[in-house]
A and B are shown apart, each in its own frame.
Chain A
Amino acid sequence: GDSVTQMEGPVTLSEEAFLTINCTYTATGYPSLFWYVQYPGEGLQLLLKATKADDKGSNKGFEATYRKETTSFHLEKGSVQVSDSAVYFCALSDGSGAGSYQLTFGKGTKLSVIP
């Protein structure tokens, strides 16, 4: 079955540091890939997505590139802020089933950014 593996946290960075959170996946076919973010006490929000190989998703300074050859979708940001402190989830959808967009999630990586 499908699976997502992401680096375990927690990750603690100083403000303005460079962020990388690794994510690799196993799936049949050509899944769509996502990064979701969960701020304290809230539900998950879509951060960015990529639907085919070599696509780059980007939002709020975060980027991730769909690498089919390495089955990876690493999240990066050049300069993190305190407000980026949250839990980040890598996820995939293989689009199986009529009308179904089931997501398979990684375990999440907690990021804390200190001033």
Chain B
Amino acid sequence: NAGVTQTPKFQVLKTGQSMTLQCAQDMNHNSMYWYRQDPGMGLRLIYYSASEGTTDKGEVPNGYNVSRLNKREFSLRLESAAPSQTSVYFCASHRSLEAFFGQGTRLTVV
């Protein structure tokens, strides 16, 4: 019962570095999402993919890119990390109305 798996769990980057956050789900869900969680802000949608081969911007897409590699995998890329991107990142997939979340990636940009 892996569900939604995110890697890495923790990461420290220097300003300007790039990295890719990986997400994979084994539930055969069509739609996948990336959120960021900041203190006092709840979760905000960065990008989503309603189905394999499609991606769309969410509320806070600036500074990020995504790739829906196949039905299982949806990656989030930071091309040039900034301190404002310090956050906890969650990937989720949906079975109809119910969202299933990964355990999160805690990213610190110094």
A residues contacting B by CB (< 8 A) are: 4, 32, 34, 36, 41-46, 49, 51, 89, 93, 97-103, 105-108
Number of residue pairs across A and B with beta carbons under 8 Å? 60
Residues of chain B contacted by A32 (CB below 8 angstroms):
97
B31 touches A100 (CB 8 A): yes
B4 touches A93 (CB 8 A): no
Residues of chain B contacted by A44 (CB below 8 angstroms):
43, 90, 92, 99, 101
B96 touches A101 (CB 8 A): yes
Answer whether residue B63 sits at the interface, using C-beta atoms and an 8 A cutoff.
Answer: no
B residues contacting A by CB (< 8 A) are: 4, 30-31, 33, 40-45, 48, 50-51, 56, 58, 90, 92, 94, 96-99, 101-104
Q: Tell me how far the C-beta of B109 lies from the nearest C-beta in chain A, rounded to whole angstroms.
A: 21
Q: Tell me how far the C-beta of B107 lies from the nearest C-beta in chain A, rounded to whole angstroms.
A: 15
Cβ-defined partner of A49 (8 Å) among B30, B90, B92, B97:
B97
Cα–Cα distance between A34 and B100 once the two chains are bound (Å): 13
B4 touches A43 (CB 8 A): yes
Residues of chain B contacted by A34 (CB below 8 angstroms):
97
Cβ-defined partner of B33 (8 Å) among A36, A89, A102, A107:
A102
Q: Tell me how far the C-beta of A53 lies from the nearest C-beta in chain B, rounded to whole angstroms.
A: 16
Residues of chain A contacted by B92 (CB below 8 angstroms):
43-44
Tell me which of B31, B42, B44, B50 has the highest count of chain A C-beta atoms within 10 A of its own C-beta: B42
B43 touches A89 (CB 8 A): yes
